[in-house]
């Protein structure tokens, strides 16, 4: 290849790299994702339906409360606390680990929070 072609390829690669690096990161941008308020969601647990209330303030999940459930006392409560802490810390239900021995209860909380967040999404 001659020098002009190599130089042109190098300039195009640098330009492409700069374009990609400065592009809009829509996937990582969560500003304006949620509308402030308290939203209710449901999920199916081991013992039946589980209901949560999710509070959104300034586009962040600030609180999650299990309003009703039919899960095993003690076992379900431990799952609720751990899963809720993970969701609030991560600001997402992604990568939340289920509590060993209470997988269905854990998944019910995750599903219920996702259900509530669907209603909270800003349009």
pLDDT of residue 23: 47
Domains of the chain, CATH where assigned: 37-120 (3.90.1010)
Q: At what angle do helices 103-120 and 75-90 cross, to 10 degrees?
A: 40
Give the closest residue to 109 by CA, choosing from 3, 60, 88.
88
Question: Are 32 and 59 a contacting pair, CB within 8 Å?
Answer: yes
Give the closest residue to 60 by CA, choosing from 98, 89, 25, 99.
89
- The model's pTM is 0.74
Q: pLDDT tens digits for 86-97?
A: 999 999 999 999
Q: pLDDT tens digits for 23-38?
A: 444 444 556 899 999 9
How many Å apart are CA 10 and CA 7, to the nearest integer? 5
Q: Which carries the bigger pLDDT value, residue 1 or residue 114?
A: 114
């Amino acid at each position: 290849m001659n020098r002009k072609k190599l130089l042109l390829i190098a300039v195009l690669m640098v330009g492409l790299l700069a374009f990609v690096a400065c592009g809009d990161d829509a996937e990582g941008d969560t500003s304006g994702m949620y509308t402030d308020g308290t939203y209710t969601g449901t999920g199916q647990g081991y013992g039946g339906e589980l209901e949560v209330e999710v509070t959104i303030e300034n586009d962040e999940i600030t609180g999650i409360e299990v309003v009703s459930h039919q899960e095993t006392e003690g076992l379900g409560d431990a799952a609720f606390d751990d899963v809720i802490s993970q969701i609030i810390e991560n600001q997402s239900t992604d990568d939340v680990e289920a509590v060993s021995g209470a997988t269905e209860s854990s998944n019910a909380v995750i599903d219920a929070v996702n259900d509530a967040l669907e209603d909270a999404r800003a349009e």
